[in-house]
Structures are given as C-alpha cells and as structure tokens.
C-alpha cells in the first residue's frame, strides 16, 4: 500500500465489477462504488478533492468533483492492514501520537503521496478540531489552497442558514476558480432529487432493522452511511440503497433473519482494522449490532427548488454538531426505536469530542435503561490493540446484560 | 512549584461571571455589572474530572471541571463557554450536570475572520447579551457597552505597553510577575486591573532606573492556556530573563485591537475579537505562526520555550510546522508538553539543559 493508490482502486473496481456482474450483493456493490469514487481521485475528468467527513457531497457531485473525506483514507488503510507505517511516518514527522489516528494516517499518506496531490481541500468545523486541522495542514504540505465551511450550531435560525448557504456559494466559486468546473443549479436540483430518493430508501431499510429479529447481521451496515454519503446525489447511491433494501427485505420474507439474543447499539465509528469482536459477540452471546449511531437519516427531504438551504439545515442539525444535548437525544431515540439492550462505544483514542462526552453518553443511555461500555480502542491504529483485554471487558459487559 | 493554587475568587463584594476562552467578549459581562473572572483550574486532582471525561482531554479543561465539581466555582453568577475547541465545548456540556446552580451560556465563535463571519458572530453576541440581561437581571444599553469597551481598551493598551517596555528593557519586571499581572487583570474589573497594572509598571520603571537591566539569556514563552507563572519563575531561577510571552492568558489577551467606536458595539466587538492575535483554532492558522515569527523578530530572544498543554489538537497538530517556522527564524526552541500540574524534576532538567545551549 506504500505505492500510489490508483492501481489499488483500479484493481478493486476491476475485480468487484466482475463479481457484481455475476451476482449483485449489497456489500459488494457498496465496495465497488466506493472503489469507483477512489478511482475518480486519479481521473482527469474529475476535479480531485480531499474533504472533511460531514460536508455536502451532493454539491461536489454536480460539479464533477471526485471527493473523499480524510477519515475514509485512515479507515481504508486500517482495513487493508497498512495503517501502521503511515502512522509511524506522521509521528516521525512530529505529529502527536495522542491525536486521532484517522488524521495521523492521512498525514502519513499525504507525505508519501499515496493519493497523489489534491486540487481542492475542503474542511468543515464539524465534527472535530482535528479533522479541520488535518485539512489545513495538508494544505501547508501540498501548497493547495484550502476552503473551510464554518458550521453554525443548532438551533436553526434564518441568519445561520443564510450564512452557511453563503459559504456554499463561496465554496462553489472556489471550486470553479481552482478547477474550471462550473456549478449548475439545474444539476443541483437533480442531485437533490436523487439524494431525497436514496434517503427515503435508506429510511425504509433502517425501519426493517428495528424488527426483532433484525434481518441483518452485525456487519451488514458496518460503516454504511458514512461511506454512503459519498454516493448521495447520484444514481449509484439510489442503486446501492435499493440493493440493500431488497436484500434485507428478502431475508425478512424468507424468514432467515439471523437469530439474536441481545440487540446492540454501536456508538460512532467501528474499529477499522481486522478484529474478531463482532463475530465473537455474535457467536458467543448471540449479540447483534442492530444500529450504528451514524446510520441515521435525521434530516428532512431537501427542497429540490432550494436545495442549498436544506443542505445547510442538514449540516447544522447533524447530531455531532454543537452541544451534546442534541446527540444524547438522538442516541436515546435510537436506543428506544431499535429496542437495544446495550451500547458499545469504542471511545476512539484521540477523539476529543467523543472521549469528552463518553461519561455523559453513558449516563444518558443508562437513564434510558441501556448500559453502555467504553472500550478505549484506537479504531485505526492496531499497534496497541490487545484483543484479549477487550474481550475480557466485553465478556463482563455481556454477562451483565 | 505550588500545586494548590486556585485564585478564581474575585472581589468578594462584586458579583462575578466566569469565562474561559480568549474569544469571549468580556465587555458584555462587565456591562451587565458582573466582574468577568477568567477561570483557572484546580491543579491538585481528586480524580473527579477523570471520572467525568477521558484521560486524553485537555488538562486545563479537566482542572476547571475539578474546581467546579469541588464547589469552588459556586460563587459565580453565571459562566460563559465557547466552542473554542472540542474540549471547551465538552466542558460546557459536562458543566450543565456538574454545576447546575451556575447558569451557563455557550457562545459559538466563528473560525474565520471575514466580514460574513463577523456579522454571524455579532448575531451570536446579541444572544449572549440577551442571556446576560436575563441571567443577571439587568439591561445592557449601548452606552454601558461602549463604556465597558473603552475600559477594556484602556486596560489592553496599558498591558500591551507594559509588554513593550519589558521587551525593550525599559522596566524591571520579571516575566513571571508579568504573567501574574495578566492573570490578576483577567479576574477583576477593568478599572481595578488598569490601576493595578499602572502601579506595577511605575514600580518596575523605578526599579529599572535604580538598577541595571536584567541579564541572562532572553526567552520568549509561547503556547496555549499556560497560566502558571511558576513556569517563567523556574527559568528565571536558572538565570534566564523572560522578556515576552505569547500565551492565551498572557500577551494574547491584550492583542484585541480597540473596537471601532463608529459602528454598533456588538459588531465592533465581533470584528475586534475575530481579528485578535489568533489561537491556532482559527482557520487562518498561518497567521498564528507568522505572528509568532514577527514577535521573535521584534523581541530578539535567545530562545523560545513552547509550553503546550497535552491533548490540545489546535496546537499540537500544528507543531511540526511551527517547529519548522521557528527553525527558519533561526531561534533555538524547546517544546514542552505540559499536564497543567506545576513543575517536575524532569522539566527542570530539560530547562537547565536548554539554557546551557543558548
């Protein structure tokens, strides 16, 4: 993985493309489409952007910008077992080892020019300081001009929405100036329509997961929505959503929903490198992750005639934006609607916004009758991961359930 | 170094409101009749904060939480937090349950300093003002606000003048004393702080007239929320002269330019605060490094000591680049990660070794 990623994405898309043609499964299709997004980072027909995690990808799509969020890179490197060398490189450069490893891996990857050089760097003030700092530091390293979306906190007011919509305008002009790609309001309308269509299907999918037993495994929707966001606003997003829905519905209709003794909520991100936690939970305890915190459509449909306003409201009301109160309410709602028995928070090392909130989340969920365990895992850095210790703690937690 | 220091209690006869982040326009609190008290944390940990937040959260924030949980901030009539960083906004969240008796307000501060951001910030300041009026049962007129703005502008001018005189060797004031003056000034009314600063400068001028200029290697101290004068005192005890600082609670406090008197006061405050000497949280972070280099060029220190509290992403993510900028400026640099406790033997050894190199 120390070489340029173009060959990796080409290979991934090539092999998965064949498999999808043979048999289109939901996870396979999601991986295939994700690989295609990776390919766009090296395709001259697209502008190349590295971005923050919660930015309006629909806008990029309408401007032919191939964009990935920086945490995607860290997760991908961890998933392929190659994050350690990039983390070590960033640390050797002087990057603090106490920070988020998603970001540190990205710095290492940028230093090794793993993804080539971006044309655009678009950060946002949500969800964390580290993500934005990473975008700005990559800008220093590459000489690429960055752009920052400053996301106001809820509650939604007209002046906040107007301010953010104004920033979207600035952002599109920044993209036009640096790449020559044009913003077309008519394409944006179409993108909003497809985004709404995909959201509606995903909502339906999530409704099925509320059934008992849920017609999914713990990994069916692993990292789903956070990656799916990259497909929002395009036909492929609708296709992926429909495939997941039809597959899940088929499981339900056939009566083959995997059995479950315990239903779990996973808080924030999954552990990205290879590990046995989920399998162990399923096999030993019949415990199934039925909902991930970030798999949640919390926003209303975009107004196709005024999509930027809807995107602004979506960003402002993101559960990880602003005071914790909003996020706690969402967690309680998910716990209730999915009838979960317990919650697992990996408490990703270096994630200040999560680690600072973990006791409050635990207290809040406990108030709703749902115990939560904090694992203290670095989700991207396998170097200090000792599975035996984690499983011992989880064992105690599961027995308590 | 002492470990039990907590000097949050302001004038007992004056109602006080707490603040934490340098982007809090404390003029609004002053105009509401409150003494704005910058909260510094409890250095002796009982472990309560660790039970409320993970160990990898800013030690200053946790020290403040420790004070709050120990009931030492109950004298406050209100407290203002910002989204200065992830740790600060979580401090607000946890405060709500730890100190429910002290009303809290979360002020969102933009990270860009352009005109649209200033307008957006002014709108948030209007909300802050409304909260202060309701919480402190008062009315903040434009006249009151302008009066507070003038008072703080005078204070900042005096403190900045003190810094310039120190840097030029015109007054005899150790860096440790300057840090104390800054801290005290941020815990009292602007009028009292001005009088205190002026008296201190006059005494330091007299000392300089009576004796020679300080000797020893000239140091500039920089970093984030380092509020312990003992850090400077330690270097001074080894013969160094701390000529200047670039701390949030130090000289960056006086870097807010006088707000424009010809525009509405909230708008003027918004513009002035967003354009002060920046915290690295701001998007135009290169400005932080370039200002630091300019300060180095102006003060000509023999060495720079960067003291950064651990887990401060805003600073630590930038360190490789700041380190390079300082190297380019040709100045020797010591980078220390602190944990908000006072000194240790290891720190003393590093300080001595550093001084031997310059």
d(CA B25, CA B266): 9
Band of pLDDT at residue A57, cut at 50, 70 and 90: very high
Q: Tokens representing A341?
A: 């028995």
Classify residue B80 by its DSSP letter.
E
Q: Is B336 strand, coil or helix?
A: strand
pLDDT tens for each residue of A1-33: 445 788 999 999 999 999 999 999 999 999 999
pLDDT surpassing 50 at residue B2: no
Distance between start and end Cα atoms, chain B: 24
Shortest Cα–Cα distance, B99 to chain A (Å): 14
User: Which chain B residues are closer than 8 Å to A153 by Cβ?
Assistant: 83, 106, 108
**Mean pLDDT to the nearest integer, A196-221:** 98
Selected residues 190-229 of chain B with any CB under 8 Å from a CB in chain A: none
Cis bond upstream, residue A213 (ω within 30): yes
CB pairs < 8 Å spanning A and B: 126
B124: distance to nearest CA of chain A, Å? 10
Q: Does B117 touch chain A (CB under 8 A)?
A: yes
Place of tokens 């493309």: A17
* pLDDT computed for residue B6 by the predictor: 44
Structural domains in chain A, sorted by start: 6-183 (3.40.50.11890), 186-400 (3.40.50.11900)
* pLDDT tier, B110 (very low <50, low <70, confident <90, very high otherwise): very high
Mean pLDDT of chain A: 96
Residues of A in contact with B285 (CB under 8 A): 133, 136
The phi and psi torsions of B212 (rounded to 5 degrees) equal -85, 170
Residue B268: which of B277, B258, B278 has the closest Cα? Answer: B258
- Does A133 contact B313 at a Cβ distance shorter than 8 Å? yes
Please classify residue B327 by burial: count the beta carbons closer than 10 Å to its beta carbon, then call 0-12 exposed, 13-18 middle and 19+ buried.
Answer: exposed
Give the C-alpha separation, A149 to A102, whole Å: 20
Q: Which of A9, A328, A350 is nearest to B86 (CA)?
A: A350
* pLDDT tens readout for residues B158-208: 999 999 999 999 999 999 999 999 999 999 999 999 999 999 999 999 999
pLDDT tens sequence across A172-203: 999 999 999 999 999 999 999 999 999 999 99
End-to-end CA distance of chain A, in Å? 41
Q: Token pair for residue B354?
A: 């550093």
Question: Is the confidence at residue B10, as pLDDT, over 60?
Answer: no
Binned at pLDDT 50, 70 and 90, residue B329 comes out as: confident
Half-sphere exposure of A164 (CA within 13 A, CB side): 27
Its sign, for the CA torsion A249, A229, A362, B106, is negative
B326 in Cβ contact with B296 (< 8 Å): yes
**Encoding tokens for residue A81?**
């077992």
Please choose, from the candidates A207, A185, A232, A189, the residue with its C-alpha nearest in 3D space to the C-alpha of residue A58: A232
Cα-only R_g, chain B: 20
State residue B3's pLDDT score. 33
CA distance B193 to chain A (A): 33
Q: What is the pLDDT of residue B7?
A: 56
CA distance B91 to B74: 16
Residues 40-99 of B with CB under 8 A from A: 51-54, 56-58, 61, 83, 85-87, 89-94, 96-97
Among partner residues A100, A152, A347, which is closest to B54 by beta-carbon distance?
A347
Q: Which pLDDT belongs to residue A323?
A: 96
CB proximity B19 to A under 8 Å: no
Rg value, chain A, Cα:
20
C-alpha to C-alpha distance for A48 and A113, rounded to whole angstroms: 14
* pLDDT tens, residue by residue, A108-167: 999 999 998 999 999 999 999 999 999 999 999 999 999 999 999 999 999 999 999 999
- Among B117, B286, B323, the residue with its CB nearest the CB of A150 is B117
Residue among B236, B182, B271, B251 at smallest CA distance from B352: B236
Q: Do A163 and B120 touch (CB under 8 A)?
A: yes
User: What does the pLDDT average to over B132-137?
Assistant: 98
Give the other-Cβ count within 10 Å of B40's Cβ: 23
In this complex, do A352 and B317 lie within 8 Å of one another by their Cβ atoms? no
B193 part of a folded domain:
no
Determine, yes or no, domain membership for B196.
no
Q: Which two tokens stand for residue B317?
A: 């993510």
Mean per-residue pLDDT, A81-100: 94
pLDDT for the residue B47:
82
Q: Give φ, ψ of B10 to 5 degrees.
A: -90, -165
- For range B46-58, the mean pLDDT: 88
The pLDDT tens digits for B334-350 are: 999 988 887 678 889 99
Chain A residues lying within 8 Å of B49, measured CB to CB: none
CB contacts of B316 in chain A (<8 Å) are 96, 98-99
User: If 0-12 CB within 10 Å is exposed, 13-18 middle and 19+ buried, where does residue A200 land?
Assistant: middle
State yes or no: pLDDT of B42 exceeds 70.
Answer: yes
Tell me which residue in A129, A136, A355 faces B56 most closely, judged by beta carbons. A355
- HEC profile of chain A: CCCCCHHHHHHHHHHHHHHHHHCCCHHHHHHHHHHHHHHHCCCCCCEEEEECCCCCHHHHHHCCEEEEEHHHHHHHHHHCCCHHHHHHHHHHHCCCCCCCHHHHHHHHHHHCCCCCCCCEEEEECCCCHHHHHHHHHHHHHHCCCEEEECCCCCCCCHHHHHHHHHHHHHHHHHHHHHHCCCCCHHHHHHHHHHHHHHHHHHHHHHHHHCCCCCCCCCCCCCCHHHHHHHHCCCHHHHHHHHHHHHHHHHHHHCCCCCCCCEEEEECCCCCCCCCCHHHHHHHHHCEEEEEECCCCCCCCCCCCCCHHHHHHHHHHCCCCCCCHHHHHHHHHHHHHHCCCCEEEECCCCCCHHHHCCHHHHHHHHHHCCCCEEECCCCCCCHHHCCHHHHHHHHHHHHHHC
A160 contacts B317? CB cut-off 8 A: no
Sign of CA dihedral A230, A235, A240, A241: positive
Q: Number of folded domains in chain B?
A: 1
* Nearest Cα residue in chain B from A170: B116
Digit-coded pLDDT (tens) for A305-331: 999 999 999 999 999 999 999 999 999
Q: CB B120 to CB A357 under 8 A?
A: no
Residue B164 within any structural domain of the chain:
no
B183 lies in some domain: no
Q: Is B120 inside a domain boundary?
A: yes
Residues in chain B closer than 8 A to A345 (CB atoms): none
Per-residue confidence at B13, pLDDT binned at 50, 70, 90? low
With CA atoms as reference, the chain B residue closest to A132 would be B283
Distance of alpha carbon B36 from alpha carbon B17, whole angstroms: 5
So what's the pLDDT on residue B1?
Answer: 33
Domain hosting residue B48, numbered range: 12-141+214-358
Closest CA to B260 of B153, B188, B186, B159: B153
Nearest to B243 by CA among B176, B193, B326, B196: B176
pLDDT value, residue B4: 36
**CB of B288 within 8 Å of any CB in chain A?**
no
- pTM across the whole model: 0.95
B126 touches chain A (CB under 8 A): no
Residue A81 has pLDDT above 70, yes or no: yes
Q: Give Cα separations from B182 to A41, B192, B230, B254 (angstroms).
A: 50, 13, 14, 9
Distance between CA atoms of residues A32 and A37, nearest Å? 9
**Which residues in A lie closer than 8 A to residue B57 (C-beta atoms)?**
352, 355-356
Q: Mean pLDDT, to the nearest integer, of B284-311?
A: 88
Residue B159 maps to a domain: no
Q: Residue B335: which H helix or E strand, with range?
A: strand B332-338
Distance separating alpha carbons of residues B305 and B313, to the nearest angstrom: 19
d(CA A195, nearest CA chain B) in Å: 29
Per-residue pLDDT, B44? 74
Picking from B51, B54, B319 by the largest number of A CB atoms within 10 A of its own CB, the best residue to mutate is B54
pLDDT at B241: 95
What CATH number is given to the structural domain containing B302? 3.40.50.11900
Q: Cα(A209)–Cα(A264) distance, rounded to whole angstroms?
A: 12
**Is B167 domain-assigned?**
no
pLDDT-based confidence at residue B285 (cuts at 50, 70, 90): low
**Contact state of B120 with A152 under an 8 Å Cβ cutoff:** yes
Mean pLDDT (chain B, rounded):
92
Q: Residue B43's closest CA among B7, B75, B12?
A: B7
Q: Is A40 exposed, middle or buried (0-12, 13-18, 19+ CB in 10 A)?
A: buried
Residue B53 in tokens: 């937040």
Half-sphere exposure of B49 (CA within 13 A, CB side): 26
Contact between A136 and B85 using a beta-carbon 8 Å cutoff: no
Confidence band, pLDDT 50/70/90 cuts, at residue B9: low
CA angle B289, B292, B298 (to 5 degrees): 145
Q: Does some domain include residue B173? A: no
Q: Do A323 and B313 touch (CB under 8 A)?
A: no
Summarize pLDDT for A97-120 with one digit per residue, the tens. Answer: 999 999 999 999 999 999 989 999
- Count other C-beta atoms under 10 Å from residue B336's C-beta: 18
In angstroms, the Cα distances linking B335 to B171, B232, B307, B340 are 28, 14, 6, 15
**pLDDT tens sequence across A260-311:** 999 999 999 999 999 999 999 999 999 999 999 999 999 999 999 999 999 9
Reading the block at residue B150, the tokens are 């003038």
């Amino acid at each position: 993985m120390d070489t340029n990623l173009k060959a990796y994405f080409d290979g991934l898309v090539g092999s998965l493309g064949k498999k999808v043609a043979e048999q289109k499964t939901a996870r396979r299709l999601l991986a295939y489409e994700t690989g295609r997004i990776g390919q766009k980072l090296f395709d001259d027909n697209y502008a190349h952007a590295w971005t923050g995690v919660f930015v309006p990808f629909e806008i990029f799509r309408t401007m032919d910008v191939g964009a990935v969020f920086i945490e995607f890179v860290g997760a991908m490197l961890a998933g392929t077992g190659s994050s350690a060398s990039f983390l070590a490189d960033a640390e050797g450069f002087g990057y603090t080892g106490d920070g988020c490893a998603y970001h540190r891996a990205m710095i290492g990857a940028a230093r090794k020019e793993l993804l080539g050089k971006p044309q655009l760097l678009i950060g946002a003030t949500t969800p964390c300081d580290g993500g934005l700092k990473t975008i700005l530091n990559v800008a220093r390293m590459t000489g690429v001009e960055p752009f920052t979306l400053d996301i106001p906190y809820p509650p939604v007011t007209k002046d906040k929405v107007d301010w953010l919509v104004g920033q979207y305008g600035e952002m599109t002009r920044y993209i036009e100036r640096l790449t020559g790609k044009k913003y077309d309001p008519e394409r944006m309308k179409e993108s909003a329509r497809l985004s709404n269509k995909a959201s509606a299907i995903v909502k339906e999918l999530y409704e099925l997961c509320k059934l008992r037993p849920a017609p999914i495994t713990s990994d069916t929707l692993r990292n789903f929505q956070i990656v799916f966001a990259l497909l929002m606003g395009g036909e492929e997003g609708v296709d992926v959503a429909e495939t997941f829905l039809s597959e899940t519905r088929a499981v339900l209709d056939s009566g083959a929903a995997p059995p479950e003794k315990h239903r779990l909520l996973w808080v924030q991100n999954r552990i990205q490198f290879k590990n046995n936690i989920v399998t162990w939970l399923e096999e030993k305890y019949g415990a199934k992750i039925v909902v991930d915190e970030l798999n949640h459509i919390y926003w209303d449909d975009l107004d196709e005639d005024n999509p930027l306003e809807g995107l602004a409201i979506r960003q402002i009301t993101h559960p990880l934006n602003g005071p914790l109160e909003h996020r706690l309410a969402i967690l309680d709602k998910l716990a209730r609607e999915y009838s979960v028995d317990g919650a697992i928070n990996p408490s990703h090392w270096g994630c200040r916004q999560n680690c600072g909130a973990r006791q409050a989340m635990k207290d809040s969920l406990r108030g709703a009758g749902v115990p939560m365990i904090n694992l203290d895992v670095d989700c991207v850095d396998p170097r200090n991961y000792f599975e035996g210790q984690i499983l011992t703690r989880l064992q105690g937690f599961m027995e308590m359930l | 170094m002492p470990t039990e220091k907590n000097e949050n209690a302001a004038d007992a006869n004056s109602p006080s409101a707490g603040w934490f982040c340098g982007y809090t326009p404390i003029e609004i609190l002053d105009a509401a009749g409150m003494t704005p008290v910058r909260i510094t944390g409890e250095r002796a940990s009982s472990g309560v904060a660790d039970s409320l937040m993970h160990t990898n959260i800013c030690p200053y924030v946790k020290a403040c939480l420790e004070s709050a949980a120990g009931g030492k901030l109950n004298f406050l009539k209100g407290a203002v937090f910002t989204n200065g960083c992830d740790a600060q906004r979580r401090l607000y969240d946890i405060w709500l349950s730890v100190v429910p008796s002290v009303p809290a307000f979360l002020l969102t501060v933009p990270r860009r300093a352009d005109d649209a951001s200033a307008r957006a910030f002014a709108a948030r300041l209007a909300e802050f003002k409304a909260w202060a009026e309701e919480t402190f049962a008062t009315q903040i007129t434009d006249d009151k606000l302008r009066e507070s703005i003038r008072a703080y502008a005078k204070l900042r001018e005096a403190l900045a003048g003190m810094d310039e005189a120190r840097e030029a060797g015109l007054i005899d004031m150790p860096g440790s004393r300057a840090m104390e003056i800054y801290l005290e000034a941020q815990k009292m009314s602007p009028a009292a702080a001005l009088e205190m600063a002026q008296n201190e400068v006059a005494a330091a001028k007299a000392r300089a007239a009576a004796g020679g200029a300080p000797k020893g290697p000239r140091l500039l101290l920089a970093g984030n929320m380092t509020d312990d004068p003992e850090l400077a005192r330690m270097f001074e005890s080894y013969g160094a002269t701390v000529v200047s600082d670039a701390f949030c609670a130090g000289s960056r406090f006086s870097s807010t330019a006088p707000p424009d008197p010809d525009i509405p006061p909230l708008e003027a405050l918004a513009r002035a605060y967003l354009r002060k000497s920046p915290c690295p949280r701001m998007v135009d972070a290169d400005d932080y490094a370039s200002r630091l280099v300019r300060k180095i060029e102006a003060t000509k220190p023999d060495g720079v000591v960067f003291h950064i509290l651990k887990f401060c992403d805003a600073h630590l993510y930038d360190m490789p680049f700041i380190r390079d900028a300082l190297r380019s400026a040709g100045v020797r640099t010591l980078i220390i990660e602190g944990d908000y406790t006072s000194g240790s033997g290891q720190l003393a050894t590093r300080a001595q070794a550093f001084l031997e190199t310059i």
